[in-house]
Amino acid sequence: MIVLAVVIVAFGLYVRLAPTDPEEWHIAAPNAPPGDYPAEGAFIAVRPVTEPGPEVLSRLDAIALDTPRTHRVAGSPAEGMITWVSRSALWGFPDFTTARVEDGKLTIHGRLRFGRGDMGVNRKRVERWLAQLEARAPGA
């Protein structure tokens, strides 16, 4: 029992304290037409936008930073791409979300760092952020 407890604590510490290399996660998703692209442990949403990219990303950045346990890892609205990390409440599992605006499209790519399945967490986060982005759109 003691060995099991030590393994669980060590795992929990590793998940929370493992360093994050921004270059590994601040990567644009493949270019795709508008739509939803679910994958195991990940979700990509591509939406057409008519506003300038920095404006869209500024609003999305504010939404992301209002999300509990989420902070920016790399990028900026001016750069045209931002990556955030969101951590689960109990274990602190990190999920990375990258958004970019290019060629009149907003692409948001949410994916997990550890494991295979995320029980739909990344899809739910991306869809929630998109709904909030639409609600905060100019003239909405």
How do the domains of the chain map onto residue ranges?
A: 2-135
Paired with 108 in beta bridges are 45, 99
Model confidence pLDDT, tens digit, residues 80-128: 999 999 998 877 889 999 999 999 999 999 999 887 878 899 999 999 9
* pTM, entire model: 0.89
> Rounded distance, CA 76 to CA 123, Å?
22
Q: What span, in angstroms and rounded, lies between the C-alpha atoms of 79 and 90?
A: 33
Task: List, for residues 42-92, the tens digit of each pLDDT value.
Answer: 999 999 999 999 999 999 999 999 999 999 999 999 999 999 999 988 778
Strand stretches in 1-140, DSSP E: 35-39, 42-48, 70-76, 81-87, 94-102, 105-112
Question: Domain 2-135: what homologous superfamily?
Answer: Kinase associated domain 1, KA1 (3.30.310.80)
CA-wise closest residue to 39 among 132, 109, 92: 109
CA pair distance 21, 93, nearest whole angstrom: 15
Using alpha carbons, select from 101, 83, 67 the residue that is nearest to residue 22: 83
Which of 133, 107, 132, 130 is CA-nearest to residue 55?
Answer: 133
What digits encode the pLDDT tens for the residues 4-41? 887 877 776 666 767 888 888 999 999 999 999 999 99
Residue 37 half-sphere exposure toward CB, CA atoms < 13 A: 16
Phi, psi torsion values for 101, nearest 5 degrees: -120, 125
